[in-house]
Amino acid sequence: MGVAARGWGIDGRTFFWALLSGVLLFLSFPKFGAGLLAWIALVPLLYALQAKSAWQGFLTGFTTGLSATIGIIYWITYVVVNYGYLPIPVGIAAMLLLSAYLALYVALFAAGIIYFHGRGIPRVLSAPLLWTSLEYAKSHLLTGFPWENLGYSQYLYGPLIQMADVTGVFGLTFAIVFINVVIFDVLHFWRSRTDGKQSFKRIKVEIAAGCLLMVILAGYGIFRIMGVEESCNRSPQMPVSLIQGNIDQSIKWRPAFQEETIRIYKTLTLQAAPAGNGLILWPETAAPFFFQDQDEMHREVVSLPRLSGNWLLFGSPSYQRDGAQLAFLNSAFLLSPDGRISGRYDKVHLVPYGEYVPLRRFFPFISKLVEGIGDFRSGPGYEPLIMQVAKAQKLGVMICYEGILPEAGRAYRQRGAGLLVNMTNDAWFGNTSAPYQHLSMTVFRSVENRLYLVRAANTGISAIIDPTGRILARTALFEKATLPGTIRFMNMNTFYSTHGDVFVYGCILGLILIFAISIKKRRSKP
């Protein structure tokens, strides 16, 4: 360990504590860990940052960030090796490169902690502001990568996550970092046996603030759950049936297997269709052909809503003519019970190197990562699809990666959506932690906007989530399955769906303020 640590420019003990913090962060997320660990995961890192220069702090934070991120997104190697057809060493290198980029944010956090502490700004103030602001930047810079932001680790703890309808997931991130700092400061005070009255007073204030924060989180959560459930009971309901075809990704796009795919979905649909006037949901690209072409497979799909008397929402690629060229889109089609196309949504936020290749002219060798998929064009916007039932109801469709984007759920709620739909194909991830992580993040779209969310995944995990973030039903991975249930069309405006990331903007302003104070303090020193 000593040799490796010296390579980082930090001593072995610092390396150990930084690595421990990274492991605890990784174990805070599914499928290998538990969210409770997030509340102590940063304590070892804070311990490692004592009496360090900003550069040493940067390296220490980078160690924590790299070890945590490798554990969280190791599955990228699986994807690019199995479906990008790259050699394993290249797949590992691609994963490490992205992990190193994401680790920079933790490195900046650690360096910032040391800088502010050296200017007399308490960690309990600087740390939550820093982490929250940097996490927001990570979620938006370079198309953004909000995968498993810290607050998402709490998706199973109902009362704690209800604050997301005010602050979004970033409010929970702030709270987790705040409590980590309080725990560290208490342990540090106890270990150093500091007798100063001022230090003891500060620790008591921190403990009181930490306890008050947790009481507010839990109290608001319990109160809000009761109010949301009461509103649910007054809302119109509809039966739904989620269909999980479990189609092998390696053969899904073969023309010879397309008819078999439709046969599988048709059989499962007719077995589990609601009695009528319900919604049947298939996953992303469940129809692996151009549904808009009026061929035999098109007619097979159209026959299902007519036979069952239900609405059918499913994914299929589509195309538009752009002069002599064809533009391809990742789409969702809504069919009415009489088989008519009631609406189509084209995916807005595409996945780099999964659905298109940025800077293809400069990196032509990367084109093989999307072999068999082709480059897609982005859709025009998050426009709901309309179901004409007892009265018009709007569906907010989020395809695959869009389910982890708060702005997608907000846009739909602002446009009057009463139900969120996430259709995805997580077969790419195999039996890694990624499908579990993907599900954990979509839970927050329900809480932020107080809407039911139904999620159909080709190989799992399909789920029905209520407006409090409770997973009412779910399937297992890699099995043919149907998931019947009942949803309610909600109409509850929330602070977050109306005003967005106001809390984060406040954190950024707070960070700017303490930075200005630190500069003033530095100048005032002789």
Please, what is the average pLDDT of the chain?
A: 91
Is the pLDDT at 430 greater than 50? The verdict is yes
Q: What angle do CA 79, 80, 82 make, to 5 degrees?
A: 65
467-479 residues labelled b (16+ CB within 10 A) or e (exposed):
bbbebeebbebbe
Tens-digit pLDDT profile for residues 185-212: 999 888 776 556 667 888 999 999 999 9
* Ramachandran bin of 193, using left for φ above 0, alpha for ψ from -120 to 50, beta for the remaining angles: left
Sheet holding 419-424, edge to edge: 385-388, 392-399, 419-424, 453-457, 463-465, 471-474
Which two three-digit tokens encode residue 273?
């269709």
- Our answer to whether residue 394 is catalytic in this structure is no
Q: Which of 84-88, 490-494, 505-509 has the highest mean pLDDT?
A: 505-509
Q: What number of CA atoms fall less than 13 Å from residue 424's CA on the CB side?
A: 28
Q: Let me know: does 149 contact 103? Beta carbons within 8 Å.
A: no
Identified catalytic residue from 148, 206, 284, 383: 284
Is 266 catalytic? The answer is: no
What mean pLDDT do residues 334-350 have? 94
Number of C-beta neighbours around residue 89 at 10 A: 10
User: Which two three-digit tokens encode residue 401?
Assistant: 């990666």
Q: Of residues 400, 402, 407, 507, which has the active-site annotation?
A: 400
Domain ranges of the chain: 2-230+501-524, 235-493
Contacts by 505-512 with C-beta closer than 8 Å and gap 24+? 507/128, 507/129, 507/132, 507/133, 507/136, 507/170, 507/174, 508/133, 508/136, 510/129, 511/126, 511/129, 511/130, 511/133
Amino acid at 89: P
Of the residues 347, 394, 448, 507, only one is catalytic, namely 347
Section 506-513 average pLDDT: 97
Catalytic status, residue 52: no
Residue 213 has pLDDT above 80, yes or no: yes
pLDDT tens digits along 234-277: 999 999 999 999 998 877 778 888 889 999 999 999 999 999 89
Q: Is 197 helix (H, G, I), strand (E, B) or coil?
A: helix
Helices 12-26 & 54-73 angle (0-180, nearest 10): 40
The reply to whether CATH 3.60.110.10 applies to domain 235-493 is yes
The pLDDT assigned to 52 comes to: 79
